[in-house]
Amino acid sequence: MQKKLLTGLFWVLLLNLLIKPFWILGIEVGVQNAVDVAEYGFYFAIFNMAYIFNILLDMGITNFNTRNIAQHPKLIDKHLSGILSIKVMLLGLYLVVTFTVGWLQGYSSRQFYLLALLSFNQFLNSLILYLRSNFEGLLLFGWDSLISILDRLLMIVICGALLWWPGHPTFRIEWFVYAQTVAYLLTAFTALVVLLRKVRWHRLRFSWPFTLAIMKQSLPFALLVLLMASYNRIDPILLSNLAPEGKGAYLSGIYAGAYRLLDALTMIAYLVSVPLLPIYARLTKPQNKKVSTLDTNASQSSAGSCTAPYSKELSSTTWWVTSLMWLFSVTAAVVCSSLAGQLMHLFYHEHAEEYAAVFGILIYGIIPISMTYVYGTLLTAAGRMKQLNLLAAIALAINVGINLIAIPRYGVVGSAYASLVAQSFMAVTQIGVALCFFNMRPNRGYILKMVVCTLLIIIFSLLTPQMVWWLKALLAMAIAVAAALALGLIKVREIVATLQERE
């Protein structure tokens, strides 16, 4: 399993690191610079509303399917066409809800037009994620990695031409949305064609018994995604509604600009969790259990109390990934925070000071977010959905409560603190639940090594306040890796031995 994880991480990180940084820091930043900050805030608020409700397009099916297919690969032939039929049905529900909420908020005709386009794009994106979940469940990480970057690669070509082609007219935010639609359509078609070469196809059919069985199992996953999307994405919406009159779109735009680099770095943590979920699902799979066609009980079989010890491989995998993600996130947070002014002036033509003030707070969220992607993924694979949903609901309440108090007084800075507090609560409590459930206890030597690495990164950052951003980032990464190797947090011999193992 560890070899599968290492090769999966290699491909998903390699391909995405080649494409995603240019997409986020080149195209998305380019689009925001090409339009007015309030115009981008107008788009960003509508996008976030469409994003929050996109759980209605999935109902937790994607995460459930990744875990289920990883544990029971033969079910994919029976499930694929049936779940695709469910996805089409859910599109109607999603459109009714999003347009109703838009109407209740008094959307203008232009807002409704943009909402319609973004809603269709969310459906296509949800479809792509479901198709990818089948590749992930089958541990076909190479194909999953290729599909994961195809939409962004296409959008880079389209948006790049619109932004930088000589003599083009002034860029409009609608063009950005059109580019998303074309890219998502082509990517979904490609993913479906490739997947159909791997499985036996049954014609599309709709069956109420099958639908109810799938929905019963996937709804806890749906609730978790909804709650996490809400406490991660609700800040711009609250800013739009709670900010002083006339400043909502502007403050949402500032938040969006400051969030951009955090979003890019968060993508790395997310990419690690992609192969991690099916690997964890295999490692926590209950033994000697027959599975029915609908598999109505299999997904819950490992969700009970932890009565049997889990393998040493599960424990060693968790500590190895924890070390990797902690070093990455702490280095990114400390260095980027100290370079907030430089980075925001580098990315944006205007309002760099406002962006920097917010970014310096938001970027520390990469630490709890990274830990959440490790321990939240572990708990999801083990079926601990009740605990995860309860924690996510509390995190959402914390975020909204702090925002209600902080936005009228402190504006966008207060909203940034609200996000950081909610993320930190979620990470700490998930780690506690996971360690208790799996009976994993880090020894003092491991904790001491992590503390030493962290202190070295902080001291380096404090001693180099004026260093140019790219040199400081490279040196900080080098120090983190060197310290991890010297202290034995990362063991090259073990990695090489794992890669040399036969499947």
Q: What is the pLDDT at residue 495?
A: 66
pLDDT tens, residue by residue, 411-432: 899 999 999 999 999 999 999 9
Using one digit for the tens of pLDDT, what is the confidence trace for 80-99? 888 888 898 899 999 999 99
What pLDDT does 307 receive? 40
| Per-residue pLDDT at 274 | 82
Measured distance CA(474)–CA(192) in Å, rounded = 40
The amino acid that residue 372 corresponds to is T
Domain ranges of the chain: 2-285+305-441
Q: Can you tell me the distance from the alpha carbon of 370 to that of 327, in angstroms, rounded to the nearest whole number?
A: 10
Alpha-carbon distance 85 to 82, whole Å?
Answer: 5
Write down the pLDDT at residue 293. 44
**What's the CA angle centered on 236, arms 230 and 241, to 5 degrees?**
105
CA 152/CA 158 separation, integer angstroms:
10
Neighbours of 252 (CB within 10 A): 29
Contacts for 156-162: CB closer than 8 Å, 24+ residues apart: 156/19, 156/22, 156/23, 156/26, 156/27, 158/182, 158/183, 159/27, 159/30, 159/31, 160/26, 160/27
* Average pLDDT, 10 consecutive residues per value, the chain (503 residues): 68 76 78 80 83 82 85 81 87 91 86 91 93 86 86 89 76 88 95 86 74 85 82 81 78 86 86 85 66 43 45 81 92 93 85 90 95 93 90 94 91 92 95 89 87 94 87 92 88 65 56
- Predicted local distance difference test score (pLDDT) of residue 125: 92
Report the alpha-carbon distance of residue 447 to residue 469 in Å, rounded. Answer: 30
The reported pLDDT for the residue numbered 328 is: 93
Note whether 134 and 82 are within 8 A (CB).
Answer: no
- Dist CA 204 CA 223 (whole Å): 27
